[in-house]
Structure 1
Amino acid sequence: MEYYVEVEQDTNGSVLVTCFDIPEFVSVGDDIEESLVNAVDGLEAALEIYIQQRRKWPAPAKRQGVNVYAVRIPALVAAKAMLHNEMVDQGVRKAELARRLHVAMPQVDRLLDVKHKSKIEGIEEALERLGRRLEVSLV
């Protein structure tokens, strides 16, 4: 899952990164390379906000421009975002998902925790309990 960001020189000499699709996101770095690396962490932090507030995580829209770069979030984080969106779409709360999975609430919390290194099988099973299937492709 790639998000397109705009990179611009800030007034204090640092490089500022914003995302077209996620207004809550902002990241900085000393140069473009560092700012794009930091952008991945910034996108993950923004996703945490969306999960806490039970708001749908926006799908990325392709953009073009001189100062536009693609930032790819890790596959596991993308899968967590998809699980979260499916829960929001269906109105399924964490407690209900825990019941469907026959697990305790902390396990569902970890499935949705962007920083937790969940097993992809757990995300896959959760999506199956929501009537969806996770597919992986190589591009």
Structure 2
Amino acid sequence: MFDYPVTLTPDGDTVLVTFADVPEAITFGADEDEALLQAVDALETALAFYIEARKPLPVPSQAAVGQPVVRPSALECAKLGVYRAMVEQGVRKAELARRLGWHMPQVDRLLDLGHASRFEHIEAAARALGRRVEITVA
């Protein structure tokens, strides 16, 4: 759902990482493995900017054969799913807070990709939006 293809480009002594779908996410690493590790943080940071700006999240394109993809951590993916549902339904943070009986700072923390929210809070927010959280271990 949030698997974004990356382009790895050798750049002198480093490897540059860019995302066609998320142009704000740019990073680098000493080699491909480190670059891909850094790419997760760059992607999460860039997607947080979309949430702060109340913009729709970019839709990931299909990766080319052999092209690496990067996804946020599972907790961040769940938060992004809640945010995407809010955008699709036109539900603002104040309305979600009202539906959950929460104060606004609680909703702010729930949508903060850097905050370690409790998973049951994410599930409650999803239910308030008529959705559910599914976890798969592959």
Q: Which residue of 2 aligns with 1:104?
A: 103
Distance of 1:7 and 1:106 partners within structure 2:
38
Distance of 2:83 and 2:101 partners within structure 1:
18
Report the CA distance between 1:103 and its aligned residue. 0.9
Report the CA distance between 1:55 and its aligned residue. 1.4
Q: Which residue of 1 aligns with 2:26?
A: 26
**Equivalences, count:** 137
Residues 60-139 of structure 1: pairs in structure 2 closer than 5 A: 60-65=60-65, 68-139=67-138
Q: Which residue of 2 aligns with 1:39?
A: 39
Distance of 1:116 and 1:126 partners within structure 2:
15
Report the CA distance between 1:129 and its aligned residue. 0.5
RMSD: 1.5
Question: Residue type of the partner of 1:97?
Answer: L
Report the CA distance between 1:65 and its aligned residue. 4.9
Report the CA distance between 1:52 and its aligned residue. 0.8
Distance of 2:130 and 2:9 partners within structure 1:
42
1:42-97 Cα offsets, whole Å, 9 max, x none, are 0110111110111121233331256x312232111001111111111111111111
Distance of 1:129 and 1:99 partners within structure 2:
10
Distance of 2:124 and 2:68 partners within structure 1:
33
Unaligned runs of 5+ in 1: none
Report the CA distance between 1:32 and its aligned residue. 1.2
Residues 9-24 of structure 1: pairs in structure 2 closer than 5 A: 9-10=10-11, 12-24=12-24
Matched residue SS, 1:107: helix
Matched residue SS, 2:6: strand
Unaligned runs of 5+ in 2: none
Q: TM-score, normalised by structure 2?
A: 0.91
Distance of 1:121 and 1:92 partners within structure 2:
20
1:10-58 Cα offsets, whole Å, 9 max, x none, are 2x43211011221221111121111111101001101111101111212
Sequence identity, in percent?
A: 48
